[in-house]
């Protein structure tokens, strides 16, 4: 884990568990030398960076050495306007209207541990020995601007975190117009770029394509991380597979608008950058003030995409997610949304809870429709008072009735929103995001509360905390069902309006910190029309997210597979819903739906009171089985075996850290006549151990299972599946 300093070569060598990252100061500029497999300290690292004059059009940054130019030098945090024509890491506007700054090395500091980021979520350590941090201070001597590049490396993870702190040490006000979290120059561009794309109900599908001259850019301008694109990008070699080859992951711990870009320049180098989206962003830095960027988490793996994913999973599960629920097994729940939508009363809710109790379910979640006069989605958001028409005894009475059945009680909120048809909006029409003299565009017949305002946050805190103190709630589903339009705040002056979206996120994070700290025993689950805000920033406050509003099991194979590229299974909510499915009208078996949902945080979202005895029997067995395997599903190492993006079959498995136990899940979407005898090659087992297949099945060697595979050809019919448990034997 140590960070070494070679004073002779002005070189910094950062070593994580399995990777090295090397920075060198070249004539005052912070140059990037290397990122990849771990290197020995003491080998000749000082001569790795080579310089040469590449073109007569290359500007001479260093007049007395024409081989050095920012146009060709691989850099740690590039600037624009002083000879580098590639995408910059930052840009600042001065009072005289110019946009030129030039950062050179001033100092550095190395210390044990990892600092918190002021007002922002970030990966953390529990003991100083877990990480070491380098702060590299660069300065622009004309303006007094100082930029601190912060790098933390970990002893137990092949991960490096990067963030940037801007400090205005001069006498004039600066306007920060671009402030990315990380920029990294690769020596060549023989890579493929990989990212996650989609839409509502079709989130996080894997995209992979070759880099070419020019830019591959993804991002969100929606005010949230979005259904459409996720704040993650990876570079992989063309030959990289799920199990072998180089993979470089870049993940942003932020829930607002973001940008990630891979640029190939004229000489074949590739620059990858990630951070807050600079579109419509500006931040005023007065003398003496600072600005902190969100954190980027870099992971390198030479064990393919699976190795990269498992590094992210272990890191995010144990050092991003927090609180008492981080390491606990998550409860099996029943949610009433697709069972009743807005049409329910206390008796109906109690009836569903009783049916769930008989199956062994542990938690009931009351979804939308319990407050104000919320009979459909066009009113009452913001009026967080129970509807006594539906709940004559109020929430406390309903919670006790549910708890009397043996289930815990959970509740849905959408705290960041307001309905124009609400008492809150009629009292405070200026509390929503809006700009003067323009329409207030509605989506889902609602507007967004301005979380940059302290009075708005105070109101939301008071309403929610009053409920949490007086109702025995074990779980909260925190929803957010639209993206930002007319981004402006009545509480900010004209020259700060482009700060609104980021101030919103800082305000939201502050509110979440306050609430989750004050009510630590509540399990919070994030939701945004399903997976519209499935990002590391939100996981810092809520350790799980509703993966998608699409509960069709076939669609969920792709959604959950793609999500697992970065995010641990313990963060993924996965439910069995009714058929025909409410999103795609597909009918699949209860067993198939259950097997897909049991590959995440398991639950049901339908009317249990309408089930046949056969369905109840199947579900009771699913609940019983999941209670036995959920520790391994939620906390084990995930190995993806067959991709739903590449064929008719999907397979993944979960392996305990000591490799003494494993679970294989196999899914076949469509039946084939006279198909081949299918075997699935397993992964992650101990080649030297023998494993019993199922409770009383054959014993096979781990080496055999990984090399020759396990037969799975006995399935029949469309939408078929199986899972099997493997245990090591002496």
SS3 699: strand
Whole-number Å distance between alpha carbons of 43 and 302: 21
The DSSP secondary-structure symbol of 352 reads H
The phi and psi torsions of 596 (rounded to 5 degrees) equal -65, -45
Q: Helix crossing, 454-470 with 500-518: angle to 10°?
A: 20
The residue written with tokens 């180098």 in the block is 269
Question: What are 300's strand-pairing partners?
Answer: 248
Catalytic residue, from 71, 84, 479, 535: name it: 479
Three-point CA angle 254, 255, 261, nearest 5°: 60
Can you point out the beta strands (E) in 600-687?
Answer: 601-605, 637-642, 649-655, 661-668, 679-680
Q: Do 497 and 489 form a contact (C-beta atoms < 8 A)?
A: yes
What is the pairing mode between strands 523-526 and 544-546? parallel
Is residue 479 flagged as an active site residue?
yes
Whole-number Å distance between alpha carbons of 263 and 660: 44
Tokens of 715: 């399935």
SS3 630: helix
Nearest to 331 by CA among 541, 54, 623: 623
Nearest to 461 by CA among 449, 472, 446: 449
Which H or E run includes 310? helix 304-319
Catalytic residue, from 84, 246, 450, 549: name it: 549
Q: Do 48 and 33 form a contact (C-beta atoms < 8 A)?
A: yes
Is residue 84 flagged as an active site residue?
no
Whole-number Å distance between alpha carbons of 653 and 636: 9
Q: Which residues are catalytic?
A: 479, 549
């Amino acid at each position: 884990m140590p960070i070494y300093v070679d004073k002779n070569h002005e070189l910094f060598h950062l070593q994580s568990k399995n990777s090295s990252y090397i920075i060198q100061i070249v004539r005052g500029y912070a140059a990037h030398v290397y990122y990849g497999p771990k290197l020995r300290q003491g080998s000749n690292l000082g001569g790795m960076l080579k310089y040469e004059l590449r073109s007569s059009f290359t500007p001479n940054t260093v007049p007395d050495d024409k081989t050095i130019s920012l146009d060709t030098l691989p850099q740690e945090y590039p600037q624009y306007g002083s000879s580098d024509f590639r995408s910059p890491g930052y840009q600042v506007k001065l009072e005289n209207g110019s946009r030129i700054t030039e950062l050179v090395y001033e100092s550095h500091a190395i210390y044990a541990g990892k600092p918190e980021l002021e007002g922002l979520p970030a990966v953390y350590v529990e003991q100083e020995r877990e990480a070491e941090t380098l702060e590299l201070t660069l300065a622009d001597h004309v303006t007094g601007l100082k930029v601190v590049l912060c790098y933390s490396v970990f002893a137990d993870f092949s991960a490096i975190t990067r963030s940037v702190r801007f400090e205005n040490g001069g006498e004039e006000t600066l306007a920060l117009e671009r402030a990315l979290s990380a920029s990294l120059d690769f020596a060549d561009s023989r890579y493929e770029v990989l990212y996650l794309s989609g839409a509502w109900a079709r989130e996080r599908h894997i995209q992979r394509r070759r880099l070419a001259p020019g830019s591959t850019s993804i991002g969100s301008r929606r005010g949230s991380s979005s259904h459409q694109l996720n704040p993650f990008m990876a570079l992989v070699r063309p030959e990289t597979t799920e199990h072998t080859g180089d993979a470089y992951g870049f993940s942003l711990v932020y829930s607002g608008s973001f940008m990630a870009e891979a640029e190939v320049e004229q000489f074949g180098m590739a620059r990858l950058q990630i951070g807050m989206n600079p579109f419509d962003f500006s931040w005023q830095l007065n003398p003496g003030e600072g600005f902190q960027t969100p954190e980027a988490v870099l992971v390198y793996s030479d064990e393919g995409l699976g190795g990269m994913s498992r590094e992210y999973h272990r890191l995010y599960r144990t050092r991003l997610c927090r609180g008492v629920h981080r390491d606990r097994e998550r409860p099996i729940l029943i949610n009433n949304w697709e069972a009743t939508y807005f049409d329910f009363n206390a008796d109906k809710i109690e009836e569903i809870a009783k049916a769930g109790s008989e199956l062994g379910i542990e938690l009931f979640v009351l979804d939308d429709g319990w407050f104000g006069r919320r009979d459909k989605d066009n009113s009452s958001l913001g009026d967080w008072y129970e509807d006594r028409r539906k709940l004559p005894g109020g929430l406390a009475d309903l919670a006790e009735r549910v708890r009397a059945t043996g289930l815990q009680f959970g509740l849905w909120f959408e705290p960041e929103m307001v309905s124009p048809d609400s008492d809150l909006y009629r009292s405070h029409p200026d509390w929503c995001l809006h700009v003067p003299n323009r329409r207030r565009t509605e989506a889902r017949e609602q507007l967004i509360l301005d979380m940059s305002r302290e009075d708005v946050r105070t109101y939301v805190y008071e309403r929610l905390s009053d409920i949490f103190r007086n109702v025995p709630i074990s779980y909260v589903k925190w929803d957010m069902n639209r993206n930002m339009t007319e981004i402006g705040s009545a509480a900010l002056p004209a020259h700060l309006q482009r700060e609104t979206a980021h101030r919103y996120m800082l305000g939201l994070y502050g509110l979440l910190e306050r609430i989750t700290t004050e009510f630590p025993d509540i399990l919070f689950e994030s939701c945004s029309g399903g997976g519209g805000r499935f990002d590391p920033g939100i996981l810092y406050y809520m350790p799980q997210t509703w993966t998608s509003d699409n509960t069709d099991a076939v669609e969920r194979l792709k959604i959950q597979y793609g999500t697992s590229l970065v995010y641990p299974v313990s963060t993924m909510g996965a439910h069995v819903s009714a058929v025909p499915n409410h999103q795609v009208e597909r009918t699949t078996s209860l067993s198939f739906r259950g097997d897909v949902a049991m590959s995440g945080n398991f639950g049901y979202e339908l009317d249990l009171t309408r089930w046949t005895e056969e369905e109840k029997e199947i579900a009771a067995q699913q609940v019983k089985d999941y209670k036995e395997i959920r520790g391994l599903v939620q906390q084990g190492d995930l190995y993806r075996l067959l991709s739903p993006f590449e064929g008719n079959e999907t397979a993944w498995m979960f392996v305990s850290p000591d490799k003494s136990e494993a679970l294989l899940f196999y899914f076949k979407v469509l039946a084939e006549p006279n198909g081949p005898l299918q075997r699935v090659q397993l992964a992650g087992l101990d080649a030297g151990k023998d494993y019993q297949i199922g409770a009383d099945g054959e014993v096979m060697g781990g080496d055999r299972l990984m090399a020759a595979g396990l037969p799975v050809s006995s399935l029949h019919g469309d939408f078929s599946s199986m899972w099997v448990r493997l245990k090591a034997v002496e």
